[in-house]
Amino acid sequence: MPEAYDLDLQSIQEARRLATACREAQRQWALADQATVDRVCQAMAEAAFAQAARLGQLAHEETGYGVPLHKRLKNEFASRQVWESIKDVKTVGVIGRDERRKIIEIAWPVGVIAALTPSTNPTSTAIYKVLIAVKARNGIVVAPHPVARGCTHEAVRIMAEAGEAAGMPPGLVSCMQAITLDGTQALMRHYAVSLILATGGTPMVKAAHSVGKPAIGVGPGNVPVYVDRSADVPKAAADIVNSKAFDCSVICATEQSVVADKPIAAQLRAEMGKHGAYWVNAEQQAALERALFSPDGSINPRSVGKTPQKLAQLAGITVPGWVRVLVADLEGVGKDYPLSREKLTTVLGFFVEDGWRAGCERCIQLLKFGGDGHSLVIHARDEEVIMAFGLEKPAFRIIVNSWGTMGAIGASTGVAPALTLAPGGLGGAISSDNITTTHLLNIKRVAYELVSPPAAARTPAPDVTGRAALAAELPPDDAALEEIVRRVLARLQG
């Protein structure tokens, strides 16, 4: 018990020390010119990219989640692709002029960012958050998930070292090492922190929104994928299995349940099987439900980011060695159907619905059961069906004919490359965007008069009888001011 108590105190003290140092460094960094900002960010991006494979291996070894090769790819995405997407964004000085409205826009940093990072994508999320924060002339203190503190700290250390060598003030980028709940709370509540950027599970995001500071928080996604009768079924099948198997399904935008249009459902099953999908029987399904979830519906951490073979061992069942994804037929959505929840591991639910309208309704049920506002995938070639899904689904990323994982983060689509995917008001967030550097940038506006205020808004001129009283209230003229100054100086000298 004393050791735990001491660790809490160490964590709180570390949070205070890093936040205070970050604020001092950020005050210097706020004066940096654009060339300096870009040089520093590029140096950090290059350093992280060069260490992407090692950091991916560290993340896998420390957390036990996912696939080292895939974590390397995410680190490369977070460093190179994220940097490419923001490197030409102006974040210093005048960033816009509207001649018609006579407005000049000037960039201004938010201040110190407290960044909470998850265990599922620890190094890649830290790399990405450091880049988007520093590019906007903010400071950042990263609070990693306790089970990923070592690899996260190493990713941040690499970037801070490279940034400081390129001219960044020491202390602008840092990461906590003594991680406890009390320490993370102390960081979020610290007076030097201006904004909280939280990526992780629901409890973490709720905590971020509860401290009384501006917060951008993103949580779970229960992403459905609808495959229409108009789809390229072989491509859809390959995309779904590859996406679900990528890093053992720890990206929040990974497909969680397939909704197949009835006329192509059998073909889709067969095609998915060719790519490593394995349908479990009723007994195996029940065993998986017990292994993946507690009775209250919470995810079993031991099941997160695991291969089908490791999940089978956990559940006490047997599956072939060639299997990449486990699939369970489902008849409904909700608490009575545990595998209709978000599953941060290699298990998919599978529904069959007749027609896109029925498929639409099933997707809405899935989104409302834990994924409101997040993401949805659709495979179709009928543009009317695609647009109907875009208009009607309560999700802010509608990924068409691509992987849920790669599409939602902007690796295979044109949305902003990001590893924090906001679910909008539906999901309890302030934004519905992929969070990037512009979300961590304040803008001042210099606005010139376009039209004179209306005459009715002016105070009527006083009548003659009131002018004497008015004159007594007016400030002295220049001559009177000079006389006052002369008298005051004479008193001081006397």
Residues noted as catalytic: 252
As a whole number of Å, the end-to-end CA separation of the chain is 71
Check if the beta carbon of residue 248 is closer than 8 Å to that of residue 292: no
470: its two tokens: 């008015």
Look at strands 255-261 and 277-279 and give their pairing. Answer: unpaired
Ramachandran assignment for 329, one of left (phi > 0), alpha (psi -120 to 50 degrees), beta (any other): beta
Which residues have a Cβ under 8 Å from the Cβ of 490 and sit 6 or more positions away? none
CA distances 178 to 145, 182, 399, Å, are: 11, 10, 39
Q: Is 215 helix (H, G, I), strand (E, B) or coil?
A: strand
Give, as one character, the DSSP assignment of residue 463. P
What is the C-alpha separation between 214 and 209, in angstroms, rounded? 8
Ramachandran assignment for 79, one of left (phi > 0), alpha (psi -120 to 50 degrees), beta (any other): alpha
Q: How many helices (H) and strands (E) does the chain have?
A: 18, 15
Beta strands in 318-416 (DSSP E): 325-329, 347-353, 373-379, 395-400
Rg (CA), the chain: 28
Check if the beta carbon of residue 184 is closer than 8 Å to that of residue 37: no
Strand order across the beta sheet in which 395-400 lies: 277-279, 325-329, 347-353, 255-261, 223-227, 373-379, 395-400
Q: What is the chain's length?
A: 494
SS3 content of the chain, % helix, strand, coil (to 5): 50, 20, 30
Alpha helices in 136-275 (DSSP H): 149-165, 181-189, 202-209, 233-245, 265-274
Selection from 199, 290, 276 nearest residue 239 by Cα: 276
What is the C-alpha separation between 73 and 56, in angstroms, rounded? 8
Q: What secondary structure does DSSP assign to 369-435, as a single string?
A: TTTTEEEEEEE-S-HHHHHHHHHHSSEEEEEESS-HHHHHTTSSSSSPP-S-B--TGGGT-S--SBP
174: amino acid identity, one letter = S
Check if the beta carbon of residue 432 is closer than 8 Å to that of residue 396: yes
